[in-house]
Amino acid sequence: MTPKTIFADERRSAFSLASIYSFRMLGLFMILPVFALYAHGLKGVTPTQIGLALGIYGLTQAILQIPFGMLSDRIGRKPIITLGLLIFVIGSVVAAMATSANNIEGIIIGRALQGGGAVGSAVLALAADLTREEHRLKVMAIIGMTIGASFSVAMIGGPVLNDWIGLSGIFWMTAILGLCGIVVLYVWVPTPKHSRMHRDTQAVPAQFKEVLADSQLLRLDLGIFTMHLVLTALFVALPVALRDVVGLPEEHHWFVYLPVMALGFFSMVPFIIIAEKKRRMKQVFAGAIAVLALSCLSLYEFHRGLIGIVIALWLFFSAFNLLEASLPSLISKMAPTQSKGTAMGVYSSSQFLGIFVGGWAGGWVFQHHGFTGVFLFCAGMVGIWLLAALTMRSPRYLSTFLINVGDVDEARAKALSAELTLIQGVAEAVVLPEDGVAYCKVDLNALDREKLESYSVNPGEPGAEKAAGSAVHA
């Protein structure tokens, strides 16, 4: 197989797995801007129940995503992904039928089942199986961008679809999207020749203690927890405020979400450049958290006028998008070299727990203190996060770089680790003989990429023949 063919297969894997992720994320997020509008009209339903229905999928997702990833090591990626997507489809059907019957308890059960289809870690593991180490970051970036795009499409498309087919129709469409994901999995996603555990994308149980004891990583986990708590809590109250306080018909809510999402995306780009190129990551990061708090306070102060809500949401999504892009980068920079997958697993679980707590707590606050209580609650949570972020250590501007070094024994792995750290731009290198992979932290601006890649034993990679000889004869 030629290098060109290998790359084509990797690209196909990236986009097909990204589409599976996208189908699922669309289904989970499309009800966010419309569910409260439907549920507040149900007789006897409390805002706490509404919030629980919005956020409970985060609880089951947080509980099951790491175990599903580990189980996929044992029984295969595709069987686990298929099982997860089927659970997701069943949950969507249960929620659709419960919506038609105006049964909030059934919707809560359906949403919990949707979260039970926690295939994210298994999808990332399959992506790692199908890509060479040197190209894995590109593949993960494609999947990450797809998740962000899915959120934006869902926020705009949810109100439109709700007007056309209703909330029950959205749940039925979500079930169809889950089935489409299974079709994509078996028609377009290649089957890997070998599956193994990947420390850069999967959690390793032995590393949990180290990761959970790292105060810098815990600050970032608190950040993603708070962000998604606030997002979910806001959408327990905000759509109702737009309809009942501002007087904007629900079928026109996308007129608000479309411009603020678009402007929010373009507003963040200069700050991403400043953070990375000018090496002002901590300052930009803390500033974005402060803007997020300001947006929540603006909603508290100006939620009775459409212009006030639009400006507050523009600030919110500008900061939210910037933070959503920055947090994974900070995890990668601050996690121990060989523990990135475990750190990302804890980070992702924190995100889903934030969704659950945000839905439940946002609903409870709305029930007892109304719109203003929710907006102040969100501002207070972001304020707590800001205090933690201000004490965060400034990150090293390093990126993760993986090299497949092939079959090496423990002595050679130790020597190779020392050898790699002598390469210009390599700050850290750990070679694990059981993985056959060198996990490196590098400064991309100073890196001698050609020399580092010469240690790869992947077929078709530069210097593969030289590296193979080095591994055998050293």
CB 215 within 8 A of CB 344: no
Any idea where the domains of the chain sit in the sequence? 1-202, 208-396, 399-473
Give 1: exposed, middle or buried? Use CB within 10 Å, 0-12, 13-18, 19+: exposed
pLDDT band at 466 (very low <50, low <70, confident <90, very high): very low
pLDDT in tens, 392-409: 999 988 988 899 898 899
| Nearest-angstrom CA–CA distance, 199 and 178 | 28
For 1-202, CATH number out of 1.20.1250.20, 3.30.465.10, 3.40.50.720, 1.10.150.20 equals: 1.20.1250.20
How far does Cα 236 stand from its chain's mean position?
21
pLDDT in tens, 290-343: 999 999 999 999 999 999 999 999 999 999 999 999 999 899 889 988 898 999
And the tokens for 11?
Answer: 């690209």
Please, what CATH class does the domain formed by 399-473 belong to? Answer: alpha beta
Query: Which residue from 340, 169, 165, 162 is spatially nearest to 253, judged by alpha carbons?
Result: 162
Q: Is the pLDDT of residue 96 over 70?
A: yes
pLDDT band at 138 (very low <50, low <70, confident <90, very high): confident
Residue 52, Cβ neighbours under 10 Å: how many? Answer: 25
Q: Is the pLDDT of residue 53 over 80?
A: yes
pLDDT band at 461 (very low <50, low <70, confident <90, very high): very low
Angle at 317 between CA 314 and CA 323, to 5 degrees: 140
What's the pLDDT score for residue 2?
Answer: 47
What's the pLDDT score for residue 116?
Answer: 97
Query: Which residue from 415, 393, 400, 404 is spatially nearest to 337, judged by alpha carbons?
Result: 400
pLDDT in tens, 211-267: 999 999 999 999 999 999 999 999 999 999 999 999 999 999 999 999 999 999 999
Share of the chain above pLDDT 70, in %: 95
Share of the chain above pLDDT 90, in %: 77
| Greater model confidence, 461 or 249 | 249
What's the pLDDT score for residue 471?
Answer: 28
What's the pLDDT score for residue 193?
Answer: 83
Q: What is the mean pLDDT of residues 258-286?
A: 93
And the tokens for 373?
Answer: 């209580």
CB 303 within 8 A of CB 375: yes
Residue type, 345: G
In the chain, count of helices (H) and strands (E)? Answer: 16, 3
Query: Which residue from 174, 126, 140, 195 is spatially nearest to 25, judged by alpha carbons?
Result: 174
Q: Is the pLDDT of residue 459 over 70?
A: no
The per-residue pLDDT of the chain, averaged, comes to 91
Q: Is the pLDDT of residue 153 over 50?
A: yes
Laid out side by side, the sheet with 399-404 consists of 399-404, 437-442, 426-432
Query: Which residue from 408, 389, 399, 407 is spatially nearest to 426, judged by alpha carbons?
Result: 399
Q: Is the pLDDT of residue 463 over 80?
A: no
Residue type, 191: T
Q: Please report, for residues 382, 411, 429, the alpha-carbon distance to residue 228 in angstroms, rounded to integers and kept in the order given.
A: 11, 45, 34
Query: Which residue from 185, 249, 269, 194 is spatially nearest to 13, judged by alpha carbons?
Result: 185
Q: What is the mean pLDDT of residues 148-155?
A: 90
Residue recorded with tokens 């498309």: 157
Check whether domain 208-396 has CATH 1.10.3720.10, yes or no: no
Residue recorded with tokens 């359906």: 110
Residue recorded with tokens 């998008």: 321
Residue 28: in which H helix or E strand, if any?
A: helix 3-29
| Nearest-angstrom CA–CA distance, 268 and 247 | 30
Residue 368: in which H helix or E strand, if any?
A: helix 340-390
Q: Please report, for residues 203, 320, 331, the alpha-carbon distance to residue 325 in angstroms, rounded to integers and kept in the order given.
A: 21, 9, 11
What's the pLDDT score for residue 241?
Answer: 96
Q: Is the pLDDT of residue 366 over 80?
A: yes
3-state DSSP assignment of residue 30:
coil
And the tokens for 283?
Answer: 């300052």
What's the pLDDT score for residue 468?
Answer: 28
pLDDT in tens, 139-149: 888 888 888 88
Tallying the residues shown for the chain, one arrives at: 474
Q: Is the pLDDT of residue 473 over 90?
A: no
- Let me know if the fold of 208-396 is the same as that of 399-473: no
Q: What is the mean pLDDT of residues 444-454?
A: 91
